[in-house]
């Protein structure tokens, strides 16, 4: 599974560091798209603005991408499976959109 993240974002770096620590099987490949030489199958601007992952051949974004990443990590698999339920996925997506609206302010606080 491939995960694209914004390595220039202090929040994103912390999240990815936690996922790397939990990913003891090395099932995930993390690509820092703040590095201009990194490749991503979606528009770079869109990829920097929203979390993306590829599960199998499907490219996912937002809460669906997080859920796919969780399913790849044994300790979080239950959470990723739970997120497949429509109502849970919609709630997670709303929460993610709320986070995106405050992300710039949180980034400034952490820099």
Classify 58 as helix, strand or coil. strand
What pLDDT digit, counting tens, does each position of 29-39 carry? 999 999 888 98
Report the distance separating Cα 60 and Cα 83, nearest Å: 13
Cα separation, 2 vs 52, in Å, equals 9
Q: Is the dihedral of CA 39, 59, 89, 100 positive or negative?
A: positive
**What per-residue confidence (pLDDT) applies to 53?**
97
| pLDDT value, residue 104 | 79
For the chain, 111 residues long, the average pLDDT of each consecutive 10-residue run is 93 94 95 91 90 95 96 96 94 93 81 69
The pTM of the whole model exceeds 0.85? yes
Distance separating alpha carbons of residues 26 and 73, to the nearest angstrom: 9
């Amino acid at each position: 599974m491939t995960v694209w993240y914004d390595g220039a974002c202090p929040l994103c770096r912390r999240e990815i560091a936690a996922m790397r620590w939990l990913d003891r099987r090395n099932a995930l490949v993390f690509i820092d798209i703040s590095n201009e030489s990194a490749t991503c199958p979606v528009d770079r601007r869109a990829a920097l603005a929203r979390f993306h992952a590829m599960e199998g051949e499907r490219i996912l974004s937002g809460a669906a991408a997080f859920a796919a990443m969780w399913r790849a990590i044994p300790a979080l698999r239950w959470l990723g499976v739970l997120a497949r339920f429509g109502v849970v996925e919609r709630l997670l997506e709303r929460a993610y959109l709320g986070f995106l609206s405050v992300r710039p302010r949180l980034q400034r606080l952490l820099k």
